[in-house]
Amino acid sequence: MKVLVINTGSSSLKYQLFDMKAGKVLAKGLCDRIGLGHSFVKQSNDNGNNFQKEMDLKDHHDAIKEVIQMLTDEEYGVIQNMSEITSVGHRVVHGGEKFYESALINDEVLNTIKESIDLAPLHNGPNLIGIQACKKLLPDVPMVAVFDTAFHQTMPKRSYIYALPYSLYEEKGIRRYGFHGTSHKYVSERAAILLNKPYDTLKIVTCHLGNGSSICAVRNGIAIDTSMGYTPLDGVPMGTRCGSIDPAIVTGLIEHDNYDAAMLNDLLNKQSGVFGISGISSDFRDLDEASKKGNERAELALEVFSYSVKKYIGSYAAAMGGIDALVFTAGIGENNSAIRKSILDGLEFLGIEVDEEKNNLRGKELDISKPGARVRTLVIPTNEELAIAKETVKILKK
Ligand code: ADP
């Protein structure tokens, strides 16, 4: 059984082909600069071969055609022909309120994804184009949509209703949705397996810390709260996104400084976060280096980030009545031991005790807690593509 996982962005398309029986990735690749000129495709195969080709990719249809070509190519390919692809899993960012779980793609599902475009125009638009292009090229292959929002759909109303006029929720769907759901689900399930405890008995806080960051509270196998909101801008400060701020800052900038929607979108999404505070970089490696050299704003950016994550952990411990496991994942969560340390310093009162030596280890899945600690603190590499492939198989089996 070979599952192709597709993650479409506005001008890029990432893909991975899984052999589910053998439990391995046969090839992974990226089509970039779609529709922008100087497009290219690069692919790395499990046998260690890497390829890159420049070509004109006018649109996502061209890109998916090229993906199939690369996967079946005599020289670059990993399969003989495209009939070996048994199913396709698509990452879809926004499932709105309709999708509690992944869905087999049919006309009804496609229409519902279309209806959610207004909620996430930057993401769902390209996701839909990717699905439609795939449908044309692989008409007989079943396809599954795996939503970033689905895992969070179990949140109780008190977690997702904003204190705005209720009509905005009823008429326009303005509420907290949450994102990175595939990752939060994957690492929280892995945590239960690593701890050898039933998933539905645990209180887990998962910290997905990458360019985009979000925290999630998972009680008894169900997401009950998360830091991202109506859009992925809410919550902790990120690489270039501001996270939660006082909304009066926005109205003030409109009233007094002539900001319009495009300027505000750019300011809040691209000029803010740790990049905005430091004025140096959105990459935590650069900030670590600058801070070590005495750059105070780089140090401040790192402190603001860790302090915000620490507060979410505390508030989710309060929401769940304690924590059994705390999980770090994604680029920063998996690799940056200094940030983990500064987030966790002072949380001993919750039962979180980390072994400094273990915290400095690098590896696959790690328990970095001190032996007798009440809370198990884990580092678990996320694997959203594998999770999408597994979901695809699960939905098709139903
Ligand atoms: P995205 O949200 O785009 O998937 P990532 O999960 O790759 O982002 O996270 C990017 C962040 O992870 C960067 O700030 C970077 O500093 C950090 N990071 C990634 N890899 C490493 C590494 N090997 N060592 C330290 N930091 C890393």
Q: What is the pTM of this model?
A: 0.93
Pick the atom of ligand 1 nearest to 287's CA: 16
Alpha helices by DSSP H, the chain: 60-72, 107-115, 121-137, 157-160, 166-172, 181-195, 247-257, 261-270, 273-278, 284-292, 296-320, 330-335, 337-344, 356-359, 384-397
**Centroid of ligand 1 to alpha carbon of 331 (angstroms):** 3
Asked whether the CA dihedral 327, 212, 182, 69 is positive or negative, the reply is: negative
Position 124 scores a pLDDT of: 83
Position 384 scores a pLDDT of: 93
- Assigned domain for 249 exists: yes
Position 115 scores a pLDDT of: 84
Asked if residue 30 and residue 114 are part of one domain, the reply reads yes
- Assigned domain for 380 exists: yes
Position 363 scores a pLDDT of: 73
Asked whether the CA dihedral 132, 133, 134, 139 is positive or negative, the reply is: positive
Give the distance from CA 176 to its chain's centroid.
16
Pocket mutation for ligand 1, best pick of 335, 362, 383, 385 (most atoms within 8 Å of C-beta):
335
pLDDT digits (tens, 9 = 90+) for 62-91: 999 999 999 999 988 999 999 999 999 999
Which residue's CA is minimally distant from atom 13 of ligand 1? 283
Position 398 scores a pLDDT of: 86
pLDDT digits (tens, 9 = 90+) for 15-63: 999 999 999 999 999 999 999 999 999 999 999 999 999 999 999 999 9
**Centroid of ligand 1 to alpha carbon of 265 (angstroms):** 23
**Centroid of ligand 1 to alpha carbon of 336 (angstroms):** 9
In the set 62, 148, 324, 367, the catalytic residue is 148
Asked if residue 352 and residue 281 are part of one domain, the reply reads yes
Residue 135 one-letter amino acid: K
* Domain harbouring 74, CATH code: 3.30.420.40
Pocket mutation for ligand 1, best pick of 182, 187, 211, 339 (most atoms within 8 Å of C-beta):
211
Comparing CA positions, the residue from 330, 55, 71 lying closest to residue 184 is 330
Pick the atom of ligand 1 nearest to 239's CA: 14
**Domain range enclosing 99:** 2-147
Residues of the chain with confidence (pLDDT) below 50: none
Number of domains making up the chain = 2
Asked if residue 208 and residue 99 are part of one domain, the reply reads no
Pick the atom of ligand 1 nearest to 333's CA: 12
Residue 110 one-letter amino acid: L
Residue at a domain's end among 85, 116, 147? 147
Position 146 scores a pLDDT of: 97
Task: Let me know if 148 is a catalytic residue.
Answer: yes
Asked if residue 203 and residue 138 are part of one domain, the reply reads no
Asked if residue 141 and residue 22 are part of one domain, the reply reads yes
Asked if residue 104 and residue 42 are part of one domain, the reply reads yes
Pick the atom of ligand 1 nearest to 285's CA: 16
Pocket residues: Cβ below 6 A from ligand 1: 210-212, 283-285, 330-332, 335-336
Asked if residue 275 and residue 215 are part of one domain, the reply reads yes
Residue at a domain's end among 119, 147, 175? 147
